[in-house]
Amino acid sequence: MLLFETAQYLSAFAGSQMYAGDKARRKPRNLVIKRETMKNSFSKKQLSLAVTCALVLGFASGAARAQSIGPASEREAWNDTGKQVWKNGFGECWHNAYGPPPGYNECNPAPLAQAAPAPYVAPAVIAAAPPQRVYQKVTFDADVLFAFDKAVLRPEGKAALDGFAGQLPGINLESIKVMGSTDRIGSDQYNQALSDRRAAAVKAYLVAAGVQSNSMSAEGTGKTKPGMDCPGAKSKKVIACLQPDRKVDVEVIGTKAQQ
Question: Of 209, 213, 157, 163, whose CA–CA distance to 180 is shortest?
Answer: 157
How many other CB atoms sit within 10 Å of the CB of residue 132? 12
Length of the chain counted residue by residue: 259
Query: Is 198 in contact with 180 (CB distance < 8 Å)?
Result: yes
Q: How far is CA 249 from the centre of its chain?
A: 53
- Average pLDDT rounded to a whole number, residues 228-257: 89
Stretch among 68-72, 107-111, 213-217 having the lowest mean pLDDT: 68-72
DSSP 78-147: PB-TT-PBPB-TTSPBPB-SSSSPP-SSSSSPPPPPPPPPPPP-PPP-PPPPPPEEEEEEEEEEHHHHB-
- Summarize pLDDT for 180-216 with one digit per residue, the tens: 999 998 899 999 999 999 999 999 999 999 988 888 9
- For residues 78, 83, 88 and 93, what is the CA-based torsion angle, rounded to 10 degrees? 60
Reported as a pLDDT band with limits 50, 70 and 90, residue 160 is: very high
CA dist 78 and 95 (Å) reads 5
Residues ≥6 apart with Cβ < 8 Å to 39: 17, 20
The pTM assigned to this predicted structure is 0.51
- Summarize pLDDT for 116-129 with one digit per residue, the tens: 888 888 888 887 77
Phi and psi, residue 247, nearest 5°: -155, 170
Mean pLDDT of the chain: 75
